[in-house]
Amino acid sequence: MRRVVITGAGTINPLGASVAATQNAMRAGICAIGPLDIRDVDRLQVRIGAQVRDYDEADHFTKQQLALYDRFTQFALIAGAQAVTQARLVDFDPDRAGVVLGTSGGGLNTLDDNYRAVYEAGRDRVHPFIVPRLMANAAASHLSMTHGLRGPATTVSTACASSNHAMGQALATIRAGQADVMLTGGAEAMLCFGGIKAWEGLRVMARDTCRPFSADRTGMVQGEGAAVFVFEDRDHALARGATIMAEVAGFAATSDAGDIVSPSQDGAARAMRGAMADAGLTPVQVGYINAHGTGTAANDRTECAAVQEVFGDHARDLLMSSTKSMHGHLIGAAGAVELLACLMALTEGVIAPTVNHRAADPDCDLDIVANTARRADVSAVLSNAFAFGGLNAVVALTRA
């Protein structure tokens, strides 16, 4: 079976506009959650979020490009350019290179703006490029066009597991010999009035900050941004002299086939077991788990129970953290940005912390690396994503 490695990474998210800036913020335990700066925020009950601040789209794109690019597409293109540059991806067969990207909301900002134009302002016309801007596959399509990737190109939308499912699909595509190189990850920009108002109705949103695994947690906080990676056949990467950051050793996806919003311990446990089996790992070889860790009472409790079920006695020796406490929940892009913490653990031996943690919860009795980053020698990690709809996706990485 072909082995798949990561040779490039890029990001723009609330913690930083590059991988280096993001990982520096993770090391320092910086929390990017703050007051929302969006239109009609005074009509919202939830007025906090993790925004990409000090961002001017005109610094990155021309007016002609911006006519086609929703905010989520802009983020994907910025992150993708960084990843391709780091991977030094110049000499490759374009027919053997593709893209699979995750998103949940797609062009939600475009949708929100144009609903206002039609229903609030009473306009009878909208811009002719509205559909190309708002469609969920826009970011993947523009990545393929920008970088000349003529192989498989698709978009995955599975709510909060979109990025992990996308990365799993990229892994499978290369393993199957359908491509040598895949850009993959996720992009999301749901911090607009309609996006926040819809989530308010679920009553899972915190109004102060995100405190995963803390006994006094009150819910999740939304974020935005993107992270994109270059996944590559290992032999292909070695042949062109690329630097390998980590190996994508395994992946598994499961469905709870139960409730549309309530998490399942069994579904999460089967996904973790499946990813380890696919990677050829035993539980004791895994040193760190980047948790789904949304900060809701049910999710955190269920995830901890699943970890204890899967890892048994080793669960006490595992390090686990939720970086959503710093960058918020990026929904369809969450798993992609969180993979940066996994790479940091493998390449630098630094475990990103769960910040804002104030009180131990007996239902979350694991080593969750609270508030301060920690040094640890780990050679294998898991990244968990457990989405609404009962869709679970776990990625396993190992040291290069």
Residue 280 backbone dihedrals phi, psi, to 5 degrees? 70, 30
Strand intervals (E) in the chain: 4-12, 34-35, 48-49, 97-102, 153-156, 181-188, 225-233, 246-255, 288-290, 319-321, 350-351, 374-375, 380-387, 391-399
Of 318, 378, 109, 102, nearest in space to 228 by CA: 102
Determine whether 147 is an active site residue.
no
374 forms bridges with which residues in the sheet? 351
Count of Cβ atoms closer than 10 Å to residue 30 Cβ: 15
Determine whether 329 is an active site residue.
yes
Residues contacting residue 353 through CB under 8 Å, at least 6 positions apart: 26, 29, 321, 325, 369, 370, 371, 372, 373, 374
Residue 185 backbone dihedrals phi, psi, to 5 degrees? 145, -135
Query: What value does the CA radius of gyration of the chain take, rounded to a whole number of Å?
Result: 20
Structure token digits, residue 284: 């004791």
Q: Which of 160, 192, 210, 364 is catalytic?
A: 160
Q: Which of 142, 165, 236, 292 is catalytic?
A: 292
Q: Which of 142, 147, 329, 357 is catalytic?
A: 329
**Active site residue ranges:** 160, 292, 329
